[in-house]
Structure 1
Amino acid sequence: MTELLTAAQMRAIEQAAIASGEVTGLELMERAGRGVVEAIFEEWPELKAGSHRAVVLCGPGNNGGDGFVVARLLKEWGWEVEVFLYGEPAKLPPDARVNYERWRGMGEVTSLSFPRVTEADVERFNEAAYGLSGTSLVVDAIFGVGLTRSIEGLSPLFGYNDIEVGVGDRLTPARHVAIDIPSGMFADEPEPPDYLSWFLADLTVTFHRMKPAHLHSYTTASCGNVVVKDIGLGPWDHIAEVVK
């Protein structure tokens, strides 16, 4: 079987694992979040020592749920963590909502305008991520491998949109981490129309297998170092063979 998985194949494997009753979606989300934190410390061992600061940008789906897990785990590690949500809490998928509530028991969530961010949102995010000294990490947990539409309404947060200091500008020493795939990128296609609005990652942490975009010549620079974390889906690998 190929080492690469399309978004549909990955989704089918996850669904088969959950349907088997041997693992829950919530358990997979926890494993994913732990895998991201593990990869961060493997990539930058110096971040394991002392107290650091992270800004986690969560989206409206399960990728956002992974982000809430990462936020909680970093907080438990002793970090200062600020969380932004691009979406509506009441409309989060069930597992993501559980992890939203778990995080809310530890810290605040700053809501961004949805579906189109405002100038005030951009200013608030930039101040949190880049205007405060000591920000070590910016985590992109907005959209995962299932994205198939433009993110024009969100891209001012990290695109080339005349932001004085933003992720897209790469003018900050903060490390940039994408969960699963940099937001704005399509997992199965090399170059969506708004490619200048991709989140630019130093480290991308994906799960089980790489996706086509991770290795495409157009996208590798935006992914940074790609690390694959095992979240226990091996027994259902065969499902990918029957999914186009």
Structure 2
Amino acid sequence: MKKHAQMRGDAVLSAAEMREVETAAMASGSVTGAVLMDRAGRGAVAAMLDHWPDLAAGAHRAVVLCGPGNNGGDGYVMARDLAARGWTVEVCALGDPVRLPPDAAAAHAAWCGVGAVLPLAEAPALMPGADVVIDALFGIGLSRPLAGDAAAVLDAVPRTARKVAVDVPSGRDADTGAVLGAAFDADLTVTFHAPKPVHTMLAAAGAAVAVVDIGLGTAA
């Protein structure tokens, strides 16, 4: 299990326990959801560049797949961070942005000041030739099988691209590791605060997992 920045230990949290930690931190007033999202997105970029140092120099091309929730918000933060580094970034999104949660909506709006947001169905035509494909479609809350555009896009991700999953590879159950119809085949998964059960399974199978400290304190 690879750690990034300052981490505590390898205490594993279930999806429900992770939500409790986040809720308690925000309820205490010590941090806001927007700050956590910004730290997560920027931390994920830092972890990615730490994992592949050759990407830290020069301009590269990324396709970011953003979902309809806060995982998608992390993706918009990552897109903005990469664009500020000189990367060419193309963002494809699932769902109506009007229905995004408030923090993700703010991250979406900030990205729209930088670049366009295309429908997710356009991603298969954009992904060939990308240096990195970033999966920010679904996080720890997914419990139903993927279908439609989401499943089609995951099937179309080129083998040649480096593949980064934000928090949990889309299509994986965070607690059981089960594949829910289709799943993003991540080379690197970047999660936050503490690993979840799926991450221990991914690491045991030889996949790279980075755990980023976003300032939530000691794991429960």
What TM-score does the superposition give when structure 1 sets the normalisation length?
0.82
Distance of 2:204 and 2:91 partners within structure 1:
26
Tell me the residue number matched to 1:203: 188
Where does 1:1-244 land on structure 2 (aligned, <5 Å)? Answer: 3-112=11-120, 121=121, 124-130=122-128, 133=129, 135-153=130-148, 154-159=150-155, 166-167=156-157, 171-172=159-160, 174-194=161-181, 197-216=182-201, 219-220=202-203, 224-235=207-218, 237=219, 240=220
Q: Could you list the per-position Cα deviations for residues 86-126 of structure 1 after superposition, in whole angstroms to 9, with x for gaps in the alignment?
A: 111000000000000000000000023xxxxxxxx2xx312
Q: Could you list the per-position Cα deviations for residues 33-90 of structure 1 after superposition, in whole angstroms to 9, with x for gaps in the alignment?
A: 1110101110111111111000000000000000000000000000000000111100
Structure number, greater radius of gyration: 1
Distance apart, 1:192 and its partner CA: 3.8
* 1:200–1:222 CA contact under 8 A, matched in 2: no
Change (3 A) 1:103 1:213: same
Q: 4+ runs of 1 displaced by more than 4 Å?
A: 219-223
Alignment size in residue pairs: 211
Residue 131 of structure 2 aligns to a residue in which SS?
Answer: strand
What RMSD over aligned residues (CA atoms) do the two structures have, in Å? 1.8
- The structure, 1 or 2, with the larger RCO (C-alpha pairs under 8 Å, 6+ apart) is 2
Identical pairs, percent: 51
What TM-score does the superposition give when structure 2 sets the normalisation length?
0.91
Give the letter for the 1:171 counterpart.
R
Change (3 A) 1:94 1:223: farther
Change (3 A) 1:50 1:25: same
Distance of 1:221 and 1:101 partners within structure 2:
38
Residue 234 of structure 1 aligns to a residue in which SS?
Answer: coil
Task: Extract unaligned runs of 5+ from structure 2.
Answer: 1-8
Give the letter for the 2:36 counterpart.
L
Change (3 A) 1:54 1:193: closer
Distance of 1:70 and 1:222 partners within structure 2:
27
Change (3 A) 1:230 1:2: closer
Task: Extract unaligned runs of 5+ from structure 1.
Answer: 113-120, 160-165
Residue 87 of structure 1 aligns to a residue in which SS?
Answer: coil
